[in-house]
């Protein structure tokens, strides 16, 4: 399994920190991924409106996923309305 860093901007109405962590775990379970670490930094103003929102919850985490399953995770994240933006980076 490869390690990845994940940065997310959630919708400002996306729920509590534990619900966001559970949300990510549910995304990773079907592809046999593992959530190593996740923390929500807090509610921040966005530099510009995204999907009509001006505030969002920022979260950063580390995950482990098989390299051939990363495209499935990417697609699943794109389909979620609660995520305004994300960045997924492979760690060396």
Tell me the pTM: 0.83
pLDDT at 15 over 80: no
* CA 34 to each of CA 25, 59, 83: distance values in angstroms, whole numbers, following the listed order: 7, 16, 19
Band of the pLDDT at 8, cuts 50, 70, 90? very high
How confident is the model at residue 41, as a pLDDT?
87
Q: How far apart are CA 74 and CA 70, in angstroms?
A: 6
pLDDT in tens, 49-86: 999 999 999 999 999 999 999 999 999 999 988 899 99
pLDDT in tens, 20-40: 888 888 889 999 999 999 998
Q: How far apart are CA 87 and CA 79, in angstroms?
A: 15
- Chain-centroid distance of CA 81 in Å reads 12
CATH number for the segment(s) 2-90: 3.30.70.60
Share of the chain above pLDDT 90, in %: 59
More confident residue, 74 or 15: 74
């Amino acid at each position: 399994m490869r390690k990845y860093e994940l940065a997310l901007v959630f919708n400002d109405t996306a729920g509590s920190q534990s619900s966001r962590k559970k949300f990510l775990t549910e995304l990773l379970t079907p592809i046999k991924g593992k959530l190593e670490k996740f923390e929500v930094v807090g509610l921040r103003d966005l530099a510009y409106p995204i999907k009509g929102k001006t505030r969002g919850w920022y979260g950063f985490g580390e995950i482990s996923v098989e390299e051939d399953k990363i495209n499935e995770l990417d697609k699943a994240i794109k389909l979620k309305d609660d995520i305004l933006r994300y960045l997924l980076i492979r760690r060396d």
